[in-house]
Structure 1
């Protein structure tokens, strides 16, 4: 499956919603989905971001036709699972219908009451997340972490054959803006054979990731073939999978992450659809010489040619003192989504190959996407080399890991010559004690 560009990607297209034109994130070429409640109150319902506004899909459903009208009705409840389940054709019909309404001012006066200032609305996690799997696709991050935890054997031999992942905790996924409570747990003792310490994590870290939303699912025992995997992906969001590194170092062997990861994950509120991302698809970077080719069930030529996303991610820190002094957040790093060693389609195909039934609203994390270049580290443990080299912020404060009051802000966007830039939104949270 290849998602083609169409009239909704025309860079010259303008909306009568003035704030959309030239908007760095939400021009009419984007139209990401969300769940919100308007300033006047009312039940949560589906919406679409357009410029600085949110379009209420419930209020404009009657102005759409056929599948577009059905899609808007499916998005009228407090979660978008029913819409995602219907697959890419239904979501594309909604995109086309809304695009036409917002670029043709014939019905402007009728539609305007359905627009609400986004800053005045309340946003929600857009789906019921039944399951969450976090992968480990950032090979540069895997090498960096491996060298800290296993200096003699940084990258295990299965990494280049198997998309490594762990089953995360969906119940603790929260929307951008919700505080993160510092977790407690056992920490690795200073000397082998000693009793572990217990208490609040002293090495709390962020992880710069992207989230991949599952659309239509598959039946139990019915794997999703690689060439059809993208039909099961609804879109992407920004994901911060917080990590307690001291707890992680003690517990991760032999079964992998547990308390170090299950306390909180932060997700951005917008689902940027696969159709919106069509102009920004790119070839999966070639594997280094000597690396094995993917096994047959993970190999598809079209996926290798178009399966990566040309998305750039940025992460910033704002300490309590910086906010008190009115200082701008400080950029810690930047990195591309193309640093994934495996494509999104490969993750879906591998996840289901044993017969696992993926469900609408399931979330797949990419894992930390470190670029492999200086300034592209996707976590503090990499930036500070395991806490050995503190970083100095512009106001003189230093950090090895996160302190109470620190706020981490992640943003992401896609841009390409000949197309309008679109944003993935913002993912932020403050650490509390």
Structure 2
């Protein structure tokens, strides 16, 4: 058993002082407020949320797609550059990049990640002798970093709703139902940590057939389902033209959408669709930094919040891995859209408190992870706010949380525990030196190859 003691801690029912937290087998087994100092002494402890959407391999592309290559640069021109980048990635590269990205996630305050993993094959779609080669690489990265992991092997079988074949870089994504079954089974049989989970990810309504989507949903009735939806107007137009309904409208008309669904982006929604998602209890996976980078658009956050919708945050393309920046960017996007301040705050809870609670509760649901709060029986996914940070000096409780999220200091967390594993100590990941060294070697090689 390990024991943490915090001067202040954000518990299920609010802030408490002098809190003793006892942890065994990764779970919180006892909580006591106004307790004498004992065990590992911390200042301010908060629940550490999960990153609910990531493509770790894209971390190595950060900063490489900012030149204008088309008069109307967009998501679609960016995607072509991404396909070119794919050509030079080996399984070893992908493992190294994933380890580095996961390390950064932990240092910024994420205790776990949902890896939306869609590179399955070699160059030109050549199959590996081990069909789960890339799944094994993601698992190895998770093991090296100690981060919580929900692995989401992606079903990707077509280039559009007309069923056209995949071309070029897309061939590395190609999978069928049998492939997904195999990867789910393989990952489940060799999890490094008992808190790990596995789900499924039909890539989008463009990339799988209606029949395949129905099959994969039925085949894994208890697993989390993550899907990109309504991210781009061109996608909305394609689905509407082929299926006679918008992506969200079609999905709700043909499937029972509930809280095991995580609808990634959901950028281009009608007000009716926004309310329908909120009512369904499905999680909306927001990735504000990536959505800003790609010029996707702005989510209907105010309507969704008023309808008590559930949303969490992901780092998606991983061009900037920063939990605080994702939350901040989302709030600021709503301020710009509505020309107001503190848009998501309520009369009883500050902006930071609302964002942090949503990040925790919704990501736990999306990952199928028993986390999201510091409470007995829950996984010990816990972060300590940074020490010696001038922006937090003299502040406590919600004001300290707000200052941490909205202040300019780049320090993320002082310490972080993922299911009780102490993987960030004194602001650095415990394996940072070796992970960074390997990543630098890979980056140097990749950039010489491009």
In the superposition, the TM-score normalised over structure 1's length comes to 0.25
* Richer in strand (by share): 1
TM-score (norm 2): 0.24
Higher helix share: 2
